[in-house]
Structure 1
Amino acid sequence: MYKKKLERFFNGGSLRVLDLFAGCGGISLGFQLAGFEIIGAVEIDPDAARTHAMNFCRHEPAEIREIHGRARDITVIEPEDLLEELGFTESADQVVDIIVGGPPCQAYTRVGRAKLREVAEHPEAYKQDARGNLYLRYLEYVRRLKPLALVMENVPDVLNYGGHNVAEETCEVLESLGYTCRYTLLNSSFYGVPQMRERMFLVAYREEFHVEVNFPDSEYWIDLPRGYHGSRQVALKTVAADLFSDTRHYVEVPRIANNLPLAVTAQQALGDLPSKVNHLTPGGMKRGARRFDELEEYTNEAEPGTYAYLMRNWPGFESTKGVSDHVIRSLPRDYAIFRRMLPGDQYPQAYSHARQMFEEELRKRYGRKLPAVDSPEYQNLYNKIVPPYDPAKFPNKWRKMEPDQPARTLMAHLGKDSYSHIHYDSQQARTISVREAARLQSFPDGFVFSGTMNPAFKQIGNAVPPLLANAVARSIFHTLTQIRANTNATQTRVEAVDTLRSDILQAVL
């Protein structure tokens, strides 16, 4: 079975990837850039599923895009039925070479080793615990589709989730299914992404290949802020407790400067995009849902650097004129606060600026005869200028990006508000646009998003950065290529021995 899949690859065929819990397609895009073929995806969110199809079936007929763009519940659809829907007629365990994806992390504490092992022995086991079945369902797809290799991605906390090291426990199950596994923590800023995003990656290969699991070396350098180091150590507590175990599957990827180029900064990522200041003038921003139906052309304000050039010229996703999703939120109360904030300022500083602005406006309007604190005049002006959140309870709710640093981690919460990423340019005095969020995740400008602004922000915040996925994909492609080289070398040696044996027999006869 695995030999047939390898032979197809060795004979020039592409390596086929199925993306589970695919979201809008960050992993898919990274693997596609590395030369893999994306054959399908499973995603339950309708907008994200449509986004995946719009981009990875963009040259297919409309009816094919419609099939690929359907929202699918992985707990309902069986692997064989999925592949049949996607048009494959061969045996399901012969179709998929690589499975990738990041199962959501709910209910890990209720899963545990016993439940994870159970799925390897009982195909229906995942149905017994609906709260923790998503990870089990991923493993069931692996069991039935028998990929050559697989990738699982998740937040670092899966290494210490209620005392469980989910990655370690998952490796135990994958080994029982015949895979060699390792996992690590990777930060996207070390791989060309202008964002400091830490994620767990687990990679596995069929044990018949007798290969070591390797992860990509760092390609860029940054001294991460102290908070990232602290979060990393918390996630690794269960790994440290298991430090001397012979069965430990965690590996550390060295972070050595070694004259590497510095990490891509927010300004390098966004500086060439058109400035946005219309929102600062009365009537300059229309009310209503933000749709992506108006092209904003690139300008000559700033020439694109290396990173921006890649975003405009990503193979298959080129964008020569401009972008249509450079849209922002209307936040008129806060524009003046954004302008006063310094790069790196968070909500306590923003709140302090707002209080100062309020006091300035009070004196401007009322001079020395200030209204009483409990008067309507006082309260109305206060509410018009000062945000309502307690800075002691919400210290990280706002943050103004530093232009000379990668952005901090983008979250799915972008779908609700964008205060976590206020633009570094005080003249623009705003939060980031949809396209800017996509740039910070390393989605190229030609990659389109289904839905309006809020669903697009959510998709982007949930995604795996494509350039980070690409680094992992290139490592996997190299390993599988080495298997091909070793197989060819072995075959050559066998043929040489056979020839020598034949020559000896001829001489004897």
Structure 2
Amino acid sequence: MAHALINQKILRLNSGAPPRVLDLFSGCGGLSLGFSRAGFTIASSVENDPVAAASHARNFHAGDRGHAEPLDITRVKPRQLVRKLGLGRVADTIDVIIGGPPCQAFARVGRSKLREIDDHPEAFRHDPRAKLFSPYLDYVRAFKPLAILMENVPDVMNFGGHNVPQEVCEILEDRGYLCAYTLLNSAFYGVPQMRERMFLIAYHREIASSILFPEPTHWIDLPSGYTGSRNVALKLISAGHETDSSCNYVDPPGATGPLPPAVTAHEAIGDLPELQARKLLKEGSLKRGARRLDQLTAYDPARPVSNYAREMKTWPGFEGGAGIYDHVIRFLPRDYEIFARMSPGDQYPEAYEHAFALFRSKLEEVTRMGQNIIPGSSEYDELRRSIVPPYDHTKFPNKWRKMWRDMPARTIMAHLGKDSYSHIHYDSEQARTISVREAARLQSFPDGFIFEGAMNQAFRQIGNAVPPLVAFALAKTIMNTLKEAGSRTQKDTAPLAETG
């Protein structure tokens, strides 16, 4: 029956119908955006966060309420999902499943293997690691997709002594899939960000006999920290915990020829209208309070537009129009002068030194004016608090970082939803952290993509997403494999020509 079902899906694609995608743990839709651009139809998604689910529905289903409803994958079964959305019979509904369980799922990894957990129908109730992976694999079992894409942090390959993607591959192979996983850095795929992630691709064995990952389109010599992180992720594989014959890990594709340099932060956001924080603060137009995303900021026609920025403005179906609606920044009046004095690449220890220099200068100023502030007094402490951040500069070196203008940004994290100190704008005149739209640009979201919610919620959605350009590269590779499978099936089923 599985053979007939797979052939039926392939024949459907041969008729010209686009492959139908189910995006699990979809967030706002970074993966969906890349797959949509590559010609896939986003049939449905499952996302537990209500604001992210609303963003996904707005961008891919015109805000349809049925698609906007937040869904808990541990509670919603495949049959319930297709019934709710009127998609039809479960096994006939979906061609490709994409997504990745949140990395928090690995916080309490136990000793049992996923393969053993998968045999237990109530596994997620007993093992926290299975709480999100087991339902994901249940959806694969129910929908029987032609292809699967899974994404996660590199540490998933070495978490608590377990290589989770290898265990997932063992399960998928038992179900008739060919499987491989690797580490890809988004800077090699045109994203202005050095973001390393694990990607796993699986095809039903009737689809393909080998698995390819997309070749790089850009090049950069990554900072040493990324090499170190990769080595930690690969530790179990390097130590021989999986033999060559049993390990499904493959090295990332190498460049096949000269490539253009990676897209820089300035190429990504340099065309966006300036927001000079100190000037806005002085004018009174930058105030404390919630930042909504519904105010249009027109593009500045005088600012040069890079090829990358032009792509973000003209992404098919997500064009920027007259401007952007989410060019908003945090209210950080204590810190703008510190940001202005920092050099690109500076982190919190340097920021702290600048802050203390500003404090000493202010102390001298008030002393000249005749005010005697004694160290240890309440006045002294109050003045210091108004200028110097409270964090221990010996314990939080990476809390702040000023971006480089002519390099891709460091990894955009969901923590942007709490503060944005990890991405301080490289332009000292603007002296601020990045805006929501700048974060979206650095993640390769086009300007016409709409984020529901307020500023903090938008930052979190962006940081949690897969960069759409990376998703697009992977989606094109998967689409090519599906088309090749369709061509083979068509030849195999074609009637023999009459002879004589």
CA distance in 2 between counterparts of 1:369 and 1:294 reads 44
Q: Deviations over 1:105-128 (max 9, x none)?
A: 345463566443442x44443334
Question: Which residue is equivalent to 1:299?
Answer: 300
- Of 450, 455, 458, the residue aligned with 1:456 is 458
Shift of residue 158, structure 1, vs aligned partner? 0.2
SS of residue matched to 2:156? helix
Of the three residues 412, 430, 433, the one matched with 1:431 is 433
The answer as to 2:6 corresponding to 1:5 is no
Q: Secondary structure at the match of 2:335?
A: helix
Structure number with the higher helix fraction is 1
Displacement of 1:370 in angstroms is 6.0
Q: Which residue does 1:152 correspond to in 2?
A: 150
Q: Is the 8 A contact 2:215 2:255 kept in 1?
A: no
Correspondence for 1:103: 101
Of the structure 1 ranges 1-10 and 270-279, higher mean CA displacement relative to structure 2 is found in 270-279
Amino acid at match of 2:478: I
Alignment-derived partner of residue 417 in structure 2: 415
Whole-Å separation in 2 of the counterparts to 1:341 and 1:257: 39
Distance 1:470 1:419 in 2: 29
1:180 match: secondary structure: strand
Distance 1:177 1:355 in 2: 61
1:41-99 residue CA offsets vs partner (Å, 9 max, x unmatched): 100000000000000012xxx6xx1110000000000101101111212x201100000
Alignment match of 2:36 (pick from 27, 32, 39): 32
For residues 253-292 of structure 1, what are the structure 2 equivalents within 5 Å?
A: 253-256=252-255, 258-277=257-276, 278-292=279-293
Partner of 2:335: 334
For 2:26, which of 18, 22, 25 is the aligned residue?
Answer: 22
Moved segments of 4+, more than 6 Å: none
Contact 2:114 2:167 in 1 (8 A): no
Instruction: Please name the residue that 1:374 is paired with.
Output: 376
Match in the other structure for 2:349:
348
8 Å CA contact retained: 2:28, 2:53: yes
In structure 2, the residue matched to 1:171 is 169
2:236 matched to which residue of 1? 238
Q: How far apart are residue 257 of structure 1 and its match?
A: 7.7
Q: Distance in 1 between matches of 2:225 and 2:189?
A: 20
Other-structure match for 2:322: 321
The residue aligned with 2:83 is: 84
Checking the alignment, whether the CA contact within 8 Å between 1:156 and 1:198 is kept in structure 2 is yes
Identify the match of residue 392 of structure 2 among 387, 390, 393.
390
Unaligned runs of 5+ in 2: none
Query: In 2, distance between residues paired with 1:331 and 1:184?
Result: 40
Distance in structure 1 (CA, Å) of the matches to 2:394 and 2:235: 28
| Equivalent AA in structure 1 for residue 251 of structure 2 | E
Q: Deviations over 1:400-442 (max 9, x none)?
A: 1001000000111100000000001111010000111111100
Contact 2:110 2:160 in 1 (8 A): no
- 1:312 maps to 313
Counterpart in the other structure of 1:116: 115
Letter in 2 for 1:317: F
Which shows bigger deviation, 284-293 or 133-142?
284-293
Residues 43, 425 of structure 1: CA spacing in aligned structure 2 closer, same or farther, 3 A cutoff?
Answer: same
Letter in 2 for 1:431: T
Describe the shift of the 1:270–1:79 C-alpha distance in structure 2 as closer, same or farther (beyond 3 A): same
Letter in 2 for 1:172: E
What amino acid does structure 2 have at the position aligned with 1:310? E
Query: In the alignment, what sits opposite 2:474?
Result: 472
| Cα deviation code 1:263-315 (max 9, x no counterpart) | 01100000111101253424121332100121010012312111111111110
Residue 362 of structure 1 contacts residue 370 of structure 1 at CA under 8 Å; is this kept in 2? Answer: no
1:323-373 deviation line (CA, Å, top 9, x unaligned): 011000000000000000011111111001111111112222214986321
Tell me if structure 2 keeps the 8 A contact 1:219–1:261.
yes
Secondary structure of 2:199's counterpart equals strand
Partner residue, 1:507 = none
Q: State the distance in 1 between where 2:93 and 2:83 align.
A: 11
Write the distance in 1 (CA, Å) between the matches of 2:320 and 2:389.
38
| Cα distance in 1 between the residues matched to 2:473 and 2:295 | 33
CA distance in 2, matches of 1:411, 1:344: 17
Task: Answer yes or no: is the 8 Å Cα contact 2:281–2:287 preserved in 1.
Answer: no
Q: Distance in 2 between matches of 1:433 and 1:100?
A: 29
Distance 1:204 1:333 in 2: 50
Q: By how many angstroms is 1:206 displaced?
A: 0.3
CA deviations over 1:106-153 (Å, ceiling 9, x no partner)? 45463566443442x444433343563101110111011100000100
Tell me the TM-score normalized by structure 2.
0.95
Cα offsets for 1:374-411 (capped at 9, x unmatched): 12232222111111111110000000100100000011
In 2, the alpha carbon distance for the partners of 1:21 and 1:112 equals 25
Q: CA RMSD in A?
A: 1.7
Q: 1:364 aligns to what?
A: 365
Return 428-437 or 352-361, whichever deviates more: 352-361
Secondary structure at the counterpart of residue 6 of structure 1: helix
Give the aligned residue type for 1:8: R
The answer to whether residue 62 in structure 2 is matched with residue 74 in structure 1 is no
The aligned counterpart of 1:196 is: 194
Letter in 2 for 1:308: A
Q: Percent identity?
A: 54
8 Å contact from structure 2 (residues 213, 253) kept in 1: no
Q: Runs of 5+ in structure 1 lacking a partner?
A: 504-509
Counterpart of 2:135, as a letter, is R
Cα drift, residue 244 of structure 1: 3.8
CA distance, structure 1, for counterparts of residue 231 and residue 80 of structure 2: 42
* 1:139 is the counterpart of 2:137: yes
Alpha-carbon distance between aligned partners in 2 of 1:32 and 1:112, rounded to the nearest angstrom: 39
Distance 1:141 1:444 in 2: 30
Question: CA 1:474–1:16 in 2, change beyond 3 Å: closer, same or farther?
Answer: same
TM (norm. structure 1) is: 0.93
